[in-house]
Amino acid sequence: MKRFAVIGDPVEHSMSPAMHNAVFKKLKLDCSFGKVRVPKGKLDEKALEKLKEEYIGLSVTIPHKLAVVPLLDKLDRSAEMIGAVNCVDFKGGKAKGYNTDMAGAIEPLKAKLGKLKGKKILILGAGGAARAIAFGCALEGCEIAIWNRTESKAVELMEEIMKIPGAEGWDSDESATKPLDAIINATSVGMHPKTEAIPIHEDFLGPDITVMDIVYNPLETKLLRIARKHGCPTIDGLEMLVGQGAEALKIWLGVDAPRDVMRKAALKELKG
């Protein structure tokens, strides 16, 4: 049996085991997916070596997405660029790190917006999730703006993004003439228990703007509820979660995971 696990702290409420085990069952794969609590500061070379003996691959979550990077033998381009890893593959006796959050966010955006090149995207937030989304959008040739509560972090991230060949930011003149294509909430605003919070004023919303939220608890955030009222196409937080998991399964096992099965399993977990 091939064994996988998510490492992090806390991991009790991780939805990864449910999502992946549902795929293994559906595709009749002799695999299992568990969870291992690894406290902050406890992930070192020895710990990773032990995990390598037991597992084929790992999902990596808070607080290890950055800490795991220097422990790995190799980094995929996505992980190298973003500087964070959420997926480790132990194939061939080496530990290779990937960032599947990026593809996990970009796929649903493409599904709604079509080709992303030249699309104008406003990203709210400048933390880990915003980073993966911003790099992904820049690589697709989107025009990006980043707003964050702590402005200096948005400026820093934007400066990094602009180093990508072909990356485009907006200038203020253009933003007046060319309307936004998407707004992405990559902050935790609206997450349980503060579900009445919204990360942007609703005056910014309009029927031609796709609104994506990375928050999945609740699944319908106030932002998405109001966006739907304005006629905006919406992408909920489970899509990115399922997307990053499906991408990891492609890396580990080369399988094209049924996303509907993953989503259903995640929804069941959410409902408790």
117 an active-site residue? no
Contacting residue, 125, 190, 243, 245, with ligand ATR by CB under 6 A: 125
How many angstroms separate the Cα of 50 from the Cα of each of 47, 68, 84, 99, 190?
5, 14, 21, 22, 38
Q: How far is the CB of 199 from ligand ATR (least distance, A)?
A: 6
Verify binding: residue 61, ligand ATR, rule CB under 6 A. no
Contacting residue, 104, 128, 136, 243, with ligand ATR by CB under 6 A: 128
127: left (phi over 0), alpha (psi -120 to 50) or beta: beta
Verify binding: residue 129, ligand ATR, rule CB under 6 A. yes
Q: How far is the CB of 244 from ligand ATR (least distance, A)?
A: 12
Point out which span in 23-31, 45-53, 71-79, 124-132 binds ligand ATR (CB under 6 A).
124-132
Q: How far is the CB of 116 from ligand ATR (least distance, A)?
A: 21
Contacting residue, 43, 157, 189, 215, with ligand ATR by CB under 6 A: 189
Give the position of tokens 């509560």: 149
| C-alpha 89, offset from chain centre | 18
Contact status, residue 209 vs residue 239, Cβ threshold 8 Å: no
- How many residues touch ligand ATR under the rule CB under 6 A: the total is 13
Q: How far is the CB of 32 from ligand ATR (least distance, A)?
A: 27
Q: How far is the CB of 64 from ligand ATR (least distance, A)?
A: 12
Closer to ligand ATR by Cβ: residue 38 or 123: 123
The CA-CA-CA angle for residues 68, 71, 73, to 5°, reads 120
Closer to ligand ATR by Cβ: residue 153 or 230: 153
Verify binding: residue 63, ligand ATR, rule CB under 6 A. no
Verify binding: residue 153, ligand ATR, rule CB under 6 A. yes
C-alpha to C-alpha distance for 118 and 94, rounded to whole angstroms: 38
Angle between helices 259-271 and 16-26 (to 10 degrees): 140
For residue 7, give the nearest of 75, 65, 73, 66 by alpha carbon. 65
For residue 108, give the nearest of 265, 243, 246, 255 by alpha carbon. 243
Contact status, residue 2 vs residue 56, Cβ threshold 8 Å: yes
Give the position of tokens 């060319």: 178
Point out which span in 14-22, 38-46, 120-128, 203-211 binds ligand ATR (CB under 6 A).
120-128
Verify binding: residue 150, ligand ATR, rule CB under 6 A. yes
The active-site residue, picked from 25, 26, 40, 65, is 65
C-alpha to C-alpha distance for 35 and 12, rounded to whole angstroms: 8
Report, as residue numbers or ranges, the catalytic residues.
65
| Contacts to ligand ATR by CB under 6 A | 125-130, 148-150, 153, 187-189
